[in-house]
Structure formats: structure tokens, C-alpha cells
């Protein structure tokens, strides 16, 4: 199967989140400030057009902000995280083969989906995200991740559609997109590599894709060779589902005696599904699909196997749901004339319950993350039982003075009951 | 100690129990088996909660302080109450009164009123 990747890239994500609850800011210059309101970490297109660069120190631009009526927000990470998880949830329902690359970018493995027209598919997905979650995105589709990323960046400037398919495209058009991508905009070319490439006369992605392998090796080693291969449509970087989550969980057992009794089989399935679901929860996973197999004794004549499988509308780790769906699927068409020997339950299309956002948390190790997750769960549990605030961090009682400055923070619309948006 | 009523010994030495395993894990032990989230929220990605402010909708049984469950993804119907952005606030509006070219922000799928 030929690899095909889609990159879903949220346009000026933090700004889009703010605009969702402030539709009046559509078309106006908006910046989101971080680090004690010190510098701009997101800018609307209108703010970019005013020449406000990424990371612009706020104090330097105060005058411009005032003159041009630039609307400022302090970063509201509670809101952005919540909106991001909504997007990931929707993407995971399209395909569980989703890699959450950062808070505002996800790769999808499209090779196993039956998509005739990527352009049309991209428009469909884009429209869904805009209408349902309320966030505009650009979508790039290509044979490798580096190309998909390049395609998404180009898609942002491709007029109204914001979708670019580099798979079904003429060689000439593809070359045109590479030609118009300066080397420093290529994923994997950092600020150190770019000048070295330019010194060799390589200014854009097309020139990089045509560099001689010897020179690439000499200049950038294996990393560079892979990059060039990816630019030429050979996938070297696979989809990384974070933490290498397992793909299936399977539990099976033989019956004490071969049986045609539905209730015995039902009981076995309940037990197997219960155990599989417990394992799911333990690993923090949700299953999108479940399958059941019943077989007669293979050593006897007339060996038969029956299979049932289905997909859940929303991924689940609930033993009750999984069991009842399996049993009702088995009930129709159950053949009581066969004596069954063995049952197997498989859960597949597993997705993480809490997709991690590596960029967001990259200062934490995985072990730390897991530990904090466990701690938070215990925390939730106790506070859930005895009332919020029963357990809290000691520091909460000390002082609020350590908190970073967030003078322009919008309400936590989606994460705090006290701050819900008002409706008249 | 087991909760089963009839156990069948399997050949692998483990018994098969009749009845559903107890699906209540640690996190759900304080919750009802009937999940209100499931009742009220069909599309979690596209559902947002708002709080009603003011008394404009009292005649419709919607009161100040109620929580409105708004779905952006629900298929719109003429009988819907829609959320629109107007005069710098979100307001409710009968969908059939909206001009055809005007997009609603979302539609009301439930309203939660608490008495105490």
C-alpha cells in the first residue's frame, strides 16, 4: 500500500480559539501574548499584515497595537487545550491512525482509507472542523510527512479552499509548489542548516530535492538523505502514534465443554470483553472497533468459525457497552445447531484516551507525565468524593502572587463552570 | 469471592462466569450507571455549554442561570432555537426567524434547569 499522509494544520490556532467566542474579531488584527504577556505567540493574518513578527516583544509594539487597534489576549491554554482535544477527537473518528504532532497539527495516515479524491475529502474535513468545532484549518495531502507539511503550508495561500493534494497533481505543478518553498520553510531544515544550504546555492525545496546524494550526505548526513527522499515522495518517517500504543487487545478461551447454549457463550463473551476492557483502561486506551470469533473444535469434522465485528460511534473502554454490542451482534444469526469450542474477543483501532501534545509538554519526560497523570486521577477521585478542594496543592494556599501576568485573558469558556459564555 | 451464579470450569483451569462483569471501575463508583453526559451530549467535539443570562426566554421555560447545551454539529431544523452573535453578545433566536443566508453559531439541544 502506498503511504499517503494528511496534515491538518489549524490556522493561527490560538487566535481562532479566541475568535470562536468573539465572532466580532473576525477580520480584525488579533495577537495572543505569552510569558507574562511579554511576547506574541500567535497572530491573526491581519496582525501579520501589520508586520508584527512571531515572538514580537509586546513592549516594543505597544504603540503599534494601540494605533492599529490590535486586540490582545493573554494565552488561555485551558481553552486552547480543550479545543485541540475536540479536533483530535473528530480526527480520530475519521481514522484512529492519527498522530497528534502538536496542539495545532495532526498527521493522518490516509493509505488505508478509501478516498477517491483527496481534494474533495480535504474540503469535506475542513468544512466539518469549521462547522462542528468552529476552527479553520489548512490541509495538505502527500506521499510523505515532509511533503504533507509543505502542502499544508502552501494550502494556506492557495485561495479559498485551503486544501492542497500533492498526490494527484501534475509533475509541473508539484515542482511549482516546491520551487515556491524557501529552504528555511522546509520541515527539518533549521536555522543552522538553511544558511549552509544557501551557501551551496540551494534556495528552495525543488533545488534541495534535486541535490546530488553525495553532497546531501556530506552536508547533512542521514537526516538530509531522508529529507531529500521525502521531498521526492518516498516516505521515510512513519506515522508515530505517541508512545507506540498497541494496536489490538485480544482475549480468548475454550469452553469447558463444547456448547450450543447461548447463555454459556454470552457469559464467556462478557468475561472476555470485561478483561479486555480492563486492560484498555489500564493502558489509557479507547477502542473504536470490537470483534468476536466463535469456533467449533478444529480437530473434528465440519470445523466452522463465525465472526462478528463492528465499530463504535465513539471510541470506548466501557465493558458494558462492548459486551452488549458484541452479544446483540451475535444474537442475530446465531446457529444453535453448532457446538462451539472456543470464543475470542478482540478490540482494535485503539486510540489514546488522552492524546499527548509533545510540543506542549516537551519539557516533561514520559515517566513524569505518567506519574502526574496518575496523581491527577487520584486527586480527581478524592475531590470528586469529598468536594472540590479537599485535596489541593499546598502552594495554592500560599499566595497568588507567583502566578504569571495574564492581564488580557479571556474566560475559560469550556473548562470552568463559573466562566461559561453568556447567552441572552 | 465471586459474584457469579454459575461457573463453568474452562480447560485452561479458569472458570467462565455467567453474568456481566462489574464494569464499575474506580473512577465511576460515585456516578450513576446512567450517564447524563450521554443523554445530553451526542457530539462531544461540537457541543459547547452556555449560561442563560436574563429573563427574555422565561415564557419558553428557559430561565436566568440555566445551562444551555449547544451543538454546532446538529443538523438544523426549523423548530430549533439557534444561537446567534448579535450586538456583541450571544443571543437565542428561533431558527425560522433567521434570514436564510445567516449562519447560526449553533443550536440548542437541551436546557438544564436546577431547582436547588
A149 and A183 fall within a common domain: no
Instruction: Please provide the average confidence, as pLDDT, over all residues in chain A.
Output: 83
The per-residue pLDDT for A373 is 46
Q: How confident is the model at residue A258 (pLDDT cuts 50, 70, 90)?
A: confident
Strand A163-165 relative to strand A137-142, pairing? parallel
d(CA B69, CA B44): 11
Instruction: Indicate whether A337 and A285 sit together in one domain.
Output: yes
Confidence band of A388 (pLDDT split at 50, 70, 90): very low
Q: Do the chains contact at A424 and B53, CB–CB below 8 Å?
A: yes
Between CA A131 and CA A140, with CA A137 as vertex, the angle to 5 degrees is 130
pLDDT of the residue at A159: 66
Determine the pLDDT at residue A381: 57
Among A169, A194, A226, residue at a domain's last position: A169
Nearest CA of chain A to the CA of B96: how many Å?
A: 18
Of residues A240 and A346, the one with the higher pLDDT is A346
pLDDT at residue A132 greater than cutoff 90: yes
Q: How far apart are CA A235 and CA A238, in angstroms?
A: 7
Per-residue confidence (pLDDT) for residue B6, from 0 to 100: 29
The better pLDDT of the pair A184, A405 is held by A184
Pair (A155, A264) in one structural domain:
no
Asked if residue A23 is part of any domain, the answer here is yes
CB A146 within 8 A of CB A153: no
Residue A260 is assigned to a structural domain of this protein: yes
CATH number at residue A304: 3.30.1490.100
Q: Is A297 exposed, middle or buried (0-12, 13-18, 19+ CB in 10 A)?
A: middle
Q: Where is pLDDT greater, at A237 or A149?
A: A149
**Higher-pLDDT residue of A11, A395:** A11
Residue A419 lies in a domain: no
Tell me if A387 is assigned to some domain. Answer: yes
Predicted confidence (pLDDT) per residue in B69-110, tens digit: 999 999 888 889 999 999 999 999 998 888 877 889 999 999
Kind of pairing between the strands at B89-94 and A105-109: unpaired
The residue that leads in pLDDT, B64 or A390, is: B64
Please report which residue ranges of A316-365 form alpha helices under DSSP H.
Answer: 319-331, 358-361
* Residues in chain B closer than 8 A to A23 (CB atoms): 85, 105
Look at residue A386 in the predicted model and tell me its pLDDT.
53
Identify whether the C-beta of residue A222 lies closer than 8 Å to the C-beta of residue A214: no
Q: Over range A155-168, report the average pLDDT.
A: 87
Q: How many domains does chain A have?
A: 3
SS3 A336: coil
Report in angstroms the alpha-carbon separations of A368 from A132, A147, A364, B37: 34, 33, 6, 31
Mean pLDDT, range A339-351, rounded to an integer: 85
Query: What percent of chain A stands above pLDDT 90?
Result: 44
Three cell numbers at A59? 513592549
| Coil vs helix vs strand at A243 | coil
Q: ipTM value of the model?
A: 0.77
Q: Which of A179, A210, A244 is the last residue of a domain?
A: A244
Flag whether pLDDT at B1 surpasses 50.
no
Candidate from A38-42, A279-283, A285-289, A387-391 with smallest mean pLDDT: A387-391
- pLDDT over 90 at A393, yes or no: no
Cα–Cα distance between A339 and A333 in angstroms, integer? 15
Measuring CA to CA, which residue among A51, A103, A42 is closest to residue A75? A42
- Are residue A231 and residue A332 in the same domain, yes or no? no
In chain A, the percentage of residues whose pLDDT exceeds 70 is 85
- For residue A338, pLDDT beyond 90: no
Is B8 in Cβ contact with A257 (below 8 Å)?
Answer: yes
Tell me which of B54 and B15 has the higher pLDDT. B54
| Listed residue (B109, B113, B116) closest to B41, CA to CA | B109
Q: pLDDT-derived band of residue A404, with 50, 70 and 90 as boundaries?
A: low
* Model confidence band, residue B8 (pLDDT cutoffs 50, 70, 90): very low
Which of B5, B22, B23 to mutate against chain A (most A CBs within 10 Å)? Answer: B23
The shortest CB-CB distance from B51 to any of A264, A318, A423 is to A423
What pLDDT is stored for residue A247 in this prediction?
67
CATH number at residue A165: 3.30.70.270
Asked if residue A262 and residue A389 are part of one domain, the reply reads yes
CA–CA min distance A317, chain B (Å): 10
CA–CA dist A143, A146 (Å, integer): 9
Is the CB of B52 less than 8 angstroms away from the CB of A381? no
Average pLDDT of the segment spanning A270-296: 85
- Do A331 and A286 lie in one domain? The reply is yes
Q: Are A140 and A178 in contact (CB under 8 A)?
A: no
Separate counts of helices (H) and strands (E) for chain B? 1, 7
Q: Where are the alpha helices (DSSP H) in chain B?
A: 36-40
Q: Which of A150, A169, A188 is the last residue of a domain?
A: A169
B25: nearest CA partner in chain A: A278
**Is B8 in contact with A420 (Cβ distance < 8 A)?**
no
Amino acid at each position: 500500500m502506498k503511504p499517503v499522509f494528511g496534515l491538518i494544520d489549524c490556522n493561527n490556532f490560538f487566535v481562532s480559539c479566541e475568535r470562536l467566542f468573539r465572532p466580532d474579531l473576525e477580520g480584525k488584527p488579533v495577537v495572543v501574548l505569552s510569558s507574562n504577556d511579554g511576547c506574541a505567540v500567535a497572530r491573526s493574518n491581519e496582525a501579520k499584515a501589520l508586520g508584527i513578527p512571531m515572538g514580537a516583544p509586546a513592549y516594543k509594539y505597544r504603540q503599534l497595537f494601540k494605533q492599529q487597534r490590535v486586540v490582545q489576549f493573554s494565552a488561555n491554554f485551558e481553552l486552547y487545550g480543550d479545543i485541540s482535544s475536540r479536533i483530535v477527537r473528530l480526527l480520530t473518528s475519521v481514522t484512529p491512525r492519527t498522530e497528534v504532532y502538536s496542539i495545532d497539527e495532526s498527521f493522518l495516515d490516509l493509505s488505508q482509507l478509501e478516498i477517491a479524491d483527496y481534494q474533495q475529502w480535504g474540503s469535506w474535513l475542513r468544512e466539518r472542523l469549521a462547522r462542528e468545532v468552529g476552527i479553520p484549518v489548512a490541509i495538505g495531502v502527500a506521499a510523505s510527512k515532509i511533503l504533507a507539511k509543505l502542502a499544508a503550508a502552501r494550502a494556506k495561500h492557495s485561495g479559498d479552499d485551503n486544501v492542497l493534494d500533492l498526490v494527484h497533481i501534475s509533475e509541473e505543478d508539484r515542482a511549482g509548489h516546491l520551487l515556491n518553498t524557501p529552504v528555511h520553510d522546509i520541515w527539518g531544515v533549521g536555522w543552522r542548516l538553511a544558511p549552509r544550504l544557501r551557501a551551496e546555492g540551494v534556495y528552495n525545496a525543488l533545488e534541495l530535492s534535486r541535490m546530488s546524494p553525495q553532497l546531501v550526505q556530506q552536508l547533512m548526513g542521514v537526516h538530509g538523505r531522508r529529507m531529500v527522499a521525502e521531498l521526492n515522495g518516498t516516505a521515510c518517517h512513519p506515522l508515530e502514534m505517541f508512545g507506540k500504543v498497541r494496536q489490538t487487545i485480544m482475549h480468548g478461551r475454550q469452553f469447558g465443554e463444547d456448547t450450543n447454549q447461548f447463555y454459556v457463550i454470552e457469559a464467556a463473551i462478557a468475561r472476555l470483553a470485561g478483561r479486555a476492557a480492563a486492560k484498555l483502561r489500564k493502558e489509557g486506551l479507547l477502542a473504536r472497533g470490537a470483534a468476536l470469533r466463535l469456533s467449533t473444535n478444529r480437530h473434528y469434522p465440519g470445523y466452522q468459525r463465525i465472526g462478528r465485528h463492528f465499530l463504535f460511534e465513539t471510541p470506548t473502554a466501557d465493558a458494558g457497552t462492548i459486551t452488549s454490542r458484541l452479544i446483540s451482534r451475535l444474537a442475530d444469526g446465531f446457529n444453535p445447531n453448532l457446538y462451539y469450542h472456543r470464543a475470542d474477543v478482540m478490540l482494535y483501532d485503539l486510540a489514546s484516551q488522552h492524546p499527548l501534545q509533545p510540543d506542549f509538554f516537551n519539557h516533561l519526560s514520559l515517566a513524569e507525565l505518567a506519574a502526574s497523570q496518575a496523581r491527577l486521577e487520584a486527586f480527581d477521585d478524592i475531590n470528586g468524593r469529598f468536594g472540590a478542594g479537599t485535596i489541593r496543592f499546598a502552594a495554592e494556599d500560599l499566595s497568588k502572587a507567583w502566578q504569571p501576568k495574564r492581564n488580557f485573558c479571556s474566560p475559560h469558556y469550556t473548562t470552568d463552570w463559573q466562566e461559561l459564555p453568556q447567552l441572552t | 469471592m465471586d459474584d457469579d451464579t454459575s461457573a463453568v470450569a474452562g480447560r485452561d483451569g479458569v472458570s467462565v462466569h455467567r453474568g456481566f462483569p462489574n464494569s464499575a471501575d474506580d473512577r465511576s463508583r460515585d456516578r450513576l450507571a446512567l450517564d447524563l453526559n450521554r443523554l445530553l451530549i451526542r457530539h462531544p467535539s461540537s457541543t459547547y455549554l452556555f449560561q442563560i443570562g436574563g429573563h427574555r426566554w422565561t415564557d419558553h421555560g428557559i430561565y436566568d442561570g440555566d445551562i444551555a447545551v449547544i451543538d454546532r454539529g446538529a443538523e438544523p431544523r426549523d423548530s430549533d432555537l439557534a444561537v446567534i452573535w448579535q450586538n456583541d453578545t450571544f443571543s437565542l433566536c428561533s431558527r425560522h426567524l433567521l434570514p436564510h443566508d445567516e449562519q447560526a453559531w449553533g443550536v440548542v439541544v437541551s436546557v438544564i434547569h436546577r431547582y436547588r
